Structure 1
Amino acid sequence: MANRSAEGAAAQETETPFGALSVLVVEDESFTRMVLAKMLGTLGVQAVHQAADGESALAAVAAHAPDLVLCDVEMQPMDGFGFVRALRASPESRSRSLPVVFMSGRVDSDREAAARASGAALVLAKPVTRPACASRCPMG
C-alpha cells in the first residue's frame, strides 16, 4: 500500500506542472475566464487572477506579479497585442520578460508571427484544453 501512495503522489506531481505558479487569465468572456481558472486549478496553479481586457490586465500584473499570463487576442478596448506591447514597454524588467501565451480562435502562421513579433511566447487554439496548456505553456 505504501508504494501505491508514493506512486500516486509522484503521479500527482507530474500532473501538476504549474506547481506554485501564479497565473493571470485575460479574457473578455466571463464564462471562459471561469473555465480557464478551474482548468488551471487542476494543473496545480496556486493562484489564478483574472482580468477582462488588456487595460485591467496591466493593473493586475502590477498588483499580483503573476508568473505567466494567458491572454485572449481579441478584446476591447485593449486587445492582446496592445496588452503585450504595453507590458514590454514597461520600465519594470519583470514585465518585459513575463511569459505571455495568447489564446485565439484563429491560429495560423500569420497569427503566430504577429504574436511573436508583439512579444508573446506562443498562441494556443481556443478552446484551450488542459493537455495543450500543460504541454505547451512555459512553466516559469
Structure 2
Amino acid sequence: MADRSAEIAAMGKTETLFGALSVLVVEDESFTRMVLAKMLGALGVKAVHQAADGESGLAAVAAHSPDLVLCDVEMQPMDGFGFVQKLRVSGEPRGSALPVVLMSGRVDDDRKAKAQASGADRVLVKPVTPASLREALAMATAAQPA
C-alpha cells in the first residue's frame, strides 16, 4: 500500500512539473498523434498541439511556440530529420534552441548519429511509453530558463 501512495504522490508531482509545458506532436499517423496527446494530457501537459507532417510542424512551431517538439522520423514528404534541420536554420527565434525529440521504431547507432547531426536532442523508441515520454518532458523542463 505504501508503494502505491508513493506512486500516486509522484504522479501528482509530475503533473505539477509538466503543467506549464506546451508540446507539439509532429506525426503523420493520426492514431499515434491521438495516443501521444492522451499520454501527454495524463502527464499534466497544459497544451498539446498537433501537426501531420514536417511542413505543418514548422508552421505550428511559429504559431504556438511550444516548449518541446515530439517528431516522428519516417514521414513524407519531409521526414523528421529534414524537419529538425529546417527548424534549426528557420530564423524562428526559438528554432535553434527548441528541444526536439525524434521518435522511431528503429533506433540504432546510425539513426542516433543522423538524429544528432540533424540537430535533434534525443531519439525515443516507438512505441513511446509513458516512462520514456516522462523522461523527454523532464529534459524539456530542465532546458527551460528559470
Change (3 A) 1:83 1:8: closer
Pairing of 1:6-45 with structure 2 (within 5 A): 10-16=9-15, 17-45=17-45
Q: Is the 8 A contact 1:18 1:139 kept in 2?
A: no
What is the aligned partner in structure 2 of residue 4 from structure 1? none
Counterparts of 1:135 and 1:77, CA distance in 2: 29
Q: CA deviation at 1:36?
A: 0.2
1:139 is the counterpart of 2:140: yes
Counterparts of 2:130 and 2:108, CA distance in 1: 21
Counterparts of 2:116 and 2:96, CA distance in 1: 14
- The one-letter amino acid of 2:13's match is T
- TM-score (structure 1 length as normaliser): 0.89
Deviations 1:83-111 (A, max 9, x none): 10110002133111100000001001111
- Aligned-residue CA RMSD (Å): 1.7
In structure 1, runs of 5+ residues without a counterpart are 1-6
Pairing of 1:67-106 with structure 2 (within 5 A): 67-106=67-106
Runs of 4+ with >3 A deviation: 7-13
Q: Is the 8 A contact 2:62 2:92 kept in 1?
A: no
In structure 2, runs of 5+ residues without a counterpart are 1-5, 142-146
- 3-state secondary structure, aligned to 1:44: coil
Q: CA deviation at 1:82?
A: 0.7
